[in-house]
A and B are shown apart, each in its own frame.
Chain A
Amino acid sequence: GESVGLHLPTLSVQEGDNSIINCAYSNSASDYFIWYKQESGKGPQFIIDIRSNMDKRQGQRVTVLLNKTVKHLSLQIAATQPGDSAVYFCAEKNQGGKLIFGQGTELSVKP
């Protein structure tokens, strides 16, 4: 079956540093990936997405990289701020619209 997984359950970074959160997936036919941020007491919030015809996509302070060869994607957050503290999930969206989530990485930002 399909699975999406994250390499680290927790990540601690210093404020101002860059953060990199990794994710691996198993289905080589997957073609659409999304990163979500979940803050305490809130639902997952869309951050950025990428389709399989791209290997990089940039947003405001965030970049998603997709390596289809090794079935790996990452989320890079530049100049990490305290407000970035949250749980980050990668997810694959299948053709039926269903999201398959990874386990999540909790990002802590130290002042």
Chain B
Amino acid sequence: EAGVTQFPSHSVIEKGQTVTLRCDPISGHDNLYWYRRVMGKEIKFLLHFVKESKQDESGMPNNRFLAERTGGTYSTLKVQPAELEDSGVYFCASSFRVDEKLFFGSGTQLSVL
């Protein structure tokens, strides 16, 4: 069974540019989460999809971040325009049910210069 896959694994962009991260959850997992780890700090929650609906987006830092999950399958996280403080590792995770363990992808390392 394929795990959670994320693309790209690394992205280096300049301040002001746009970047789109993609996450493919495990097939059949309705719950999809985005997290990020900035500068070696703790991993912080960004948002939670249940199928195509945003269940909780309380962790989204500001309106430069837009997450979508059209059709309830894969998800994208767009940062526009990117700022220096957006640099970090963005993780996606999925689970079949809310009360079950999360499976994480390998993350996208985003560097904004």
The interface of chain A, by Cβ under 8 A from chain B, is 4, 34, 36, 41-46, 49, 89, 91, 96-104
Best-buried of A45, A46, A98, A103 by chain B (most CB within 10 Å) = A98
CA distance in complex: A61, B98 (Å): 28
Q: Which secondary structure dominates where chain B touches chain A? A: strand
List 24 A–B pairs whose Cβ atoms lie within 8 Å, in order of A's numbering: A36-B104, A41-B106, A42-B106, A42-B107, A43-B4, A43-B105, A43-B106, A43-B107, A89-B42, A96-B55, A96-B98, A97-B48, A97-B98, A98-B48, A98-B56, A99-B43, A99-B45, A99-B93, A101-B35, A101-B42, A101-B43, A102-B42, A103-B42, A104-B43
Give the number of chain B interface residues (Cβ < 8 Å): 25
CA distance in complex: A45, B55 (Å): 24
Task: Provide the B39-59 mask, 1 if CB < 8 A to any CB of A, else 0.
Answer: 011111100100000011000
Check B101–A97 contact: CB distance below 8 A: no
**B:80-113 near A, CB below 8 Å:** 91, 93, 95, 98-99, 101-107
Check A100–B104 contact: CB distance below 8 A: no
Chain A residues within 8 Å of B55, by CB:
96-97
